[in-house]
């Protein structure tokens, strides 16, 4: 049976919305601490404060790079990663150059991912590479990205930012985020040392369990409280009733 703590240690609690303030950071870090999740994923300027707020816990501090559009130059992404590590981040979630991926410029993409990965590793941090699968939708492109990440020793491949909104025919914007089919594809085509992170659209306990079963060891989430409270209720009920059998 899955343990509640096992699910908690899948969660990268996301504190990334553009409107979030320092007060929001304090509140959300308290949530991360309460449930003892894997990490918080914060905006670059929040790293120092998040590190201080989570001192003495087992919750890691992660930081996004080139977020959310991925358009910064390679040297800028490297600088961002190094600065985040200096401030205390031990996990780096970088967004690839989406336009370069869509045009098939794989040499550029490999150079970019390798540069950020190498810089992060030199500074003691792991790297999660965000593909943005609402934009990079072709299977062959996702496979190519997985192969590149494997080649350059990235630690994770990751589906989405949660901000990859696509304009529909009605003029409204929406996104899908992580899908089981993409997660299975990523697991199949990534090397055994590369882990998988789902992000975007995982809001319920059942969805969290589903991405775990698809091979994910991490999941980005804002609905941490709802998922963890449901896990506590559900598994407490299971333990109580299994004793009666």
State the catalytic residues: 93, 158, 197
Q: How many CB atoms lie within 10 A of CB 190?
A: 21
Q: What is the DSSP letter of 57?
A: S
Q: Do the Cβ atoms of 121 and 127 come closer than 8 Å?
A: yes
Give the count of beta carbons closer than 10 Å to the beta carbon of residue 174.
10
Structure tokens, 22? 């320092």
Burial (CB count within 10 angstroms: exposed 0-12, middle 13-18, buried 19+), residue 148: buried
- Rounded Cα distance, 161 and 14, in Å: 10
CB 117 within 8 A of CB 134: no
As a whole number of angstroms, the distance between CA 134 and CA 165 comes to 7
Spatial separation of the C-alpha atoms in residues 66 and 64, rounded to whole Å? 7
């Amino acid at each position: 049976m899955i343990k509640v703590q096992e699910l908690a240690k899948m969660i990268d609690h996301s504190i990334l919305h553009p409107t979030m303030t320092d007060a929001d950071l304090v509140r959300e870090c308290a949530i991360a601490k309460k449930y003892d999740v894997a990490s918080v994923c914060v905006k670059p300027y929040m790293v120092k404060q998040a590190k201080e707020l989570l001192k003495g816990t087992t919750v890691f501090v992660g930081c996004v790079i080139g977020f959310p559009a991925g358009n910064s130059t390679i040297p800028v992404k490297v600088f961002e990663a190094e600065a985040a590590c200096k401030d205390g981040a031990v996990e780096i979630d970088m967004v690839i150059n989406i336009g370069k991926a869509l045009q098939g410029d794989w040499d550029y993409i490999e150079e970019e991912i390798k540069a950020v990965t190498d810089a992060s590793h030199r500074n003691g941090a792991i790297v999660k590479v965000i593909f943005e699968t609402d934009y990079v939708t072709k299977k062959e492109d996702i496979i190519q990205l997985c192969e590149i990440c494997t080649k350059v020793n990235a630690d994770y491949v990751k589906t989405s930012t949660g901000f990859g909104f696509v304009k529909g025919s009605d003029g409204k914007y929406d996104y899908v985020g992580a899908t089981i089919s993409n997660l299975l594809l990523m697991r199949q085509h990534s090397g055994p040392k590369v882990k998988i992170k789902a992000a975007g659209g995982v809001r319920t306990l059942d969805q969290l369990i589903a991405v775990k079963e698809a091979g994910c060891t991490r999941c980005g989430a804002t609905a941490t409280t709802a998922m963890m409270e449901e896990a506590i209720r559900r598994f407490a009920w299971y333990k109580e009733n299994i004793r009666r059998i």
